[in-house]
Amino acid sequence: MPLPFALDHVNVWLIGNATDDLMIVDTGIDSAATCDLWQQLLSATGRTPGHLLITHYHPDHIGLASWFQSQHAQLPVTMSQLEFDQAKAAFEATDEEFAGAQAAWYREHGMPDDLLHKMAAEGNSYRQIVAGLPQVDNIVKAGDSLTAGGYKWQVITGGGHAPEQITLYSEAINVLIAADQILPRITPNISLNWYKNRLDPLADFLGSFANYDSLPADALVLPSHGLPFTGLHERLGQLRDHHDERLDRLRQSIQKPVTAHQLLPLLFQRELDPRQMMFAMGECLAHLRYLENQGEIMATTSGGIIRYQTN
């Protein structure tokens, strides 16, 4: 499904066999273009959605869940509890609450006023591309399993990118639906942000890799962005190396107190639009929090501004 961002698409999955209704995994954002595509797609298959599973709360995954339920009465929706809670908090925040909390958070991490004003003008950017909150009938957690397409799928959850993201593995066909937890070319955004409910998202993310250790090396991985691939364990190794390298760069550059905003050029050597700036700040702060929790750096606040420094 198309996305109007630098990352221009999200993958959705339809799982079915000759007899079952389809299980749909993720929806795309709420836009007229995405609704049109879904209608074309479902009429081309001649199939009815029997079940919708939302991997995590981000708009490109949950955006049309409530629209699906308005089109297909009684369509059951499955999520994890923390993802639903996060979606609810983000969706229900007023423009003022959303923008205010966001601005306060970025201001104390050193973002200049002109950028803060641009962000505040956007209001609740989450609700702009999410149609509504779905009625969730089925809450799943790690270790549960479900059936789709005649196959059993094991629920494996992972934190870091989102609090309790659902990924699905079917041993019968050796396929892992990895959502945004494991992506082939780009690295999933790992952000510490003003929701403050994820205290050490990078530790959560790296810790989640153990959940995939026992899967076969030749599993076919279906990511939410980019093409399906094999080489699960190599990719996890590359993701680990990427974060290790960023942590090293930060360690070497925080001899004197600096704000997260001042450290951005060290991690991102390109122009950032406001949306990318939000991801970049979150990513930088996630790495700083990780080093802080490891006891390698400390944060000090003066004049309402938080700065980081090696111990």
Three-state secondary-structure class, residue 304: coil
Q: How far is the CB of 55 from Zn ion (least distance, A)?
A: 8
- Across 194-265, where does the E strand assignment appear? 220-223
58 binds Zn ion (CB under 5 A): yes
Judged by CB under 5 A, which stretch of 53-61, 147-155, 232-240, 271-279 contacts Zn ion?
A: 53-61
Nearer to Zn ion, 98 or 308 (CB): 98
User: Binding string to Zn ion for residues 95 to 134, with x set by CB under 5 A, is what?
Assistant: ----------------------------------------
281 C-beta neighbours (distance < 10 Å), count: 25
Q: Is 225 in the site for Zn ion (CB under 5 A)?
A: no
Task: Name the nearest CA neighbour of 31 among 109, 128, 108.
Answer: 128
Half-sphere exposure of 18 (CA within 13 A, CB side): 0
Q: Which residue is nearest to Zn ion (CB)?
A: 58
Q: Does 180 bind Zn ion (CB under 5 A)?
A: yes
CB contact set of 231 (below 8 Å; sequence gap of 6+):
217, 221
Cβ-based nearer residue to Zn ion, 157 or 263 = 157
Rounded CA-CA distance 18/47 in Å is 10
Q: Minimum Å distance from CB 59 to Zn ion? A: 9
Q: Which is nearer to Zn ion, 16 or 223 (CB)?
A: 223
Shortest separation between residue 10's beta carbon and Zn ion, angstroms? 8
DSSP assignment of 126-175, as one string? TGGG--------EE--TT-EEEETTEEEEEEEE-SSSTTEEEEEETTTTE
Is residue 88 within 8 A of residue 130, CB to CB? The reply is no
* Residue 194 in tokens: 């003003």
Cα–Cα distance, 23 to 279 (Å, whole number): 31
Tell me how far, at minimum, the Cβ of 73 lies from Zn ion, in Å.
28
Q: How far is the CB of 308 from Zn ion (least distance, A)?
A: 26
Question: What single letter denotes the amino acid at residue 220?
Answer: L
Closer residue to Zn ion, CB minimum distance, 58 or 127? 58
Site for Zn ion (CB under 5 A): how many residues? 2
Stretch that binds Zn ion, among 85-93, 179-187, 194-202, 250-258 (CB under 5 A): 179-187
In the bound complex, what is the minimum distance in angstroms from residue 166's beta carbon to Zn ion?
12
Residue 4 structure tokens: 């109007």
- Of 16 and 63, the one with the shorter C-beta distance to Zn ion is 63
Nearer to Zn ion, 16 or 59 (CB): 59
The helix (H) or strand (E) run that includes residue 62 is helix 59-62
Q: Which residues bind Zn ion (CB under 5 A)?
A: 58, 180
